[in-house]
Chain A
Amino acid sequence: MDLSHETLVWVAKTFGLIYLVILSIAVVAYACWPARQKEFRDASTAILNREDRPWR
């Protein structure tokens, strides 16, 4: 494996600079995507269901 210091620095200074920014955009887009809001609303209320037994 030939990973020189220069290669690591190059990765850090290119991809390393932006990957967390890309990730943040992706996460915010995922969380705020309008089509997904119903699923989230259902998920947050589903745990308040009174039933305490498995569905099978």
Chain B
Amino acid sequence: MDVISNLTMDERRRALLILLVMALVGLTFAAAGHGDPIAVHGALVLVLSLALAFPVMGHLYDPEPSIERFNAYYDDPSKVGVILTFVWAAFAMFVGDWVAWLMVEPTWTTGSAWSSFGRLRPVHTTGVIFGFGGNGLIATSFYVMQRTCRVRLPDQLSPWFVLIGYNLFCILAVTGYLLGITQSKEYAEPEWYADLWLVIVWVTYFVLYMRTLARREEPHIYVANWYYMAFILVVAMLHIVNNLAVPVSFLSAKSHSLFSGVQDALTEWWYGHNAVAFFLTAGFLGMMYYYLPIRAGRPIFSYRLSIISFWGITFMYMWVGSHHLHHTALPQWVQTLGMTFSLVLLVPSWGSAANALLTLNGAWHKVRDDATLRFMMIAAVFYGLTTFEGSFMAIRSVNALSHYTDWTVGHVHAGALGWVAMITFGALYASIPWLWKRERMYSPALVEVHFWLALSGTAVYVFALWNAGIIQGLMWRTYTENGNLAYTFLDSVVAMRPYYIARALGGLLYLLGALAGCLNLYLTIRFAAPATEAASRKPLRDGLDDAATQPAE
């Protein structure tokens, strides 16, 4: 339990206090919320808090950690975050593939309520977006902010509070869906108490980032930090506004939203699309702007383009949410506004994608040889493809064909599998040897296997659902010469079967890749050779101080 002994005595005491307060809150909900599902969550919080409190108590009077710690970055939370990222990937991608097979064979459930499609599907989406993506962002952001600011995290307790508190939110969310707890807002399903908890965790995260920046030794704030900051700040804003709600009682899991009707829909999709923008894009761009140049050994192609893209994305994305509500009761001009901004958004999006790919000019031999860098390269390609597709689908007349079809699901997965997960795996494979001070990943061959499984899985998945979506869309709008619809809805469902089988197989490939990653992580931590002194001083820059490294400037 080195991790706990590495905390100062004061930090250990405060950790224990926080855990005991949480246990008490859990006990209150467990005892007083009888008959309501919130009692189950109370009991869960109680058990988890105590499970963490006991080891802390066991090490409460360990000696103070060595003063030497100030000569190194504080990476323990990043290490645990990396492991959690892989655990969530395996779990949530498994559930994802399960629900994909349910679309092929709806009887593959246990028959009980928890295993119905409607409950498992948000387990998958929350698990991949918040569990896998969120942990990846938190783990890498701690890593990146310390390196780019050249300063150790300001304290050792708040990063743990953020990481563990955030995972508690994910666990409450996922178990809640299985119990039937949901506020029925897509990607914002958790109920009021989980939402309030996330606000506390997220504000701590923001304050931690600001404190680290305030203590920085490097005068310039590297652009990756801007993206991470935008992610943290805007997600806080979105989360708070979209989840404004009044609970039925303080001992009930149920609440009612402050919004209703079309206002509710617009608020939800203002949140929903900005979750795509700031959770699934800005943070991962931060990852890309740090790990890709380092892995390629070349500075970013154009630093000024990265700044222009940053402000473009930050200010334009805010307006595009209404493209989710084309052809609805939402006023036409609001739909047009969303559509227009979605098109303009292509400029900063392609700015970042091109910036990443142009950085690789001169390093393409590395892309060929190094699967980790190839993960990042493919991520940039899919980022460019998906943002183009997204802008295109936001056009009202295109949307008339694509909306409500599986094209949307295909589009989302081009982004999620091709961009978000690829850049995450690339960044993780780059940081794991640095974090655990290993020469390299235990098995570069397994990274290679993961890469090809991930790429083929994405391709199969996306092509299957492009076909599925366009066929659905066309079947729903084909008329006979008498002016009747040519196909019933059921006809279109039957026509989907081969594509749904292909989709589930593509998902399976992707899942197998993630499992190969989990195995490689375990083998690296347990068995990989420790790095020699020279190799542990990471970045590998070719032609140090070579004047030709900045072609754009």
Interface residues of A (CB under 8 A from B): 20, 23-24, 27-28, 30-32, 37, 39-56
Contacts and interface: CB of A to CB of B under 8 A. Distances in A.
Interface stretch (B52-60, B173-181, B292-300): B292-300
Nearest to A19: B315
A23 to B, nearest CB: 6
A54 B307 contact: no
Given A27-B311, A28-B308, A54-B71, A44 B541 contact: no
Interface of B: 70-73, 146-148, 150-152, 217-218, 220, 222-224, 290, 293-294, 297-300, 303-305, 307-308, 311-312, 315, 434, 536-539, 541, 549-550, 553
A53 B70 CA distance: 9
B315 A31 contact: no
B151 A44 contact: no
A37 B550 CA distance: 11
B72 A54 contact: yes
A50 B220 contact: no
Contact of B294 (A39, A40, A43, A48): A48
Nearest to A30: B307
Contacts of A46: 218, 220, 222
Contacts of B290: 47
Contacts of B300: 44
Given A41-B550, A48-B299, 7 more contacts: A24-B311, A40-B553, A52-B147, A52-B536, A53-B72, A54-B71, A55-B217
A53 to B, nearest CB: 6
Given A45-B549, A56-B217, A50 B538 contact: yes
B531 to A, nearest CB: 11
Contact of B304 (A31, A52, A54): A31
Contacts of A48: 293-294, 297-299, 539, 541
A47 B303 contact: no
A3 B312 CA distance: 29
B303 A40 contact: yes
A45 B315 CA distance: 27
A32 B302 CA distance: 11
A49 B540 CA distance: 9
Contact of B220 (A24, A43, A53): A43
Instruction: Give the interface centre of A23, A46, A51 by most chain B CB atoms within 10 Å.
Output: A46
A41 B553 contact: yes
A56 B538 contact: no
Given A40-B304, A46-B218, A48-B539, A55 B150 contact: yes
16 contacts: A23-B311, A27-B308, A31-B304, A43-B222, A43-B303, A45-B299, A46-B222, A47-B147, A47-B222, A47-B539, A50-B541, A52-B147, A52-B537, A52-B538, A53-B71, A54-B146
| Cβ-closest 8 pairs across A and B | A31-B304, A44-B299, A40-B303, A55-B217, A48-B541, A27-B311, A43-B220, A31-B307
Given A30-B307, A41-B303, A54-B217, A47 B72 contact: no
A49 B150 CA distance: 11
Contacts of B70: 54, 56
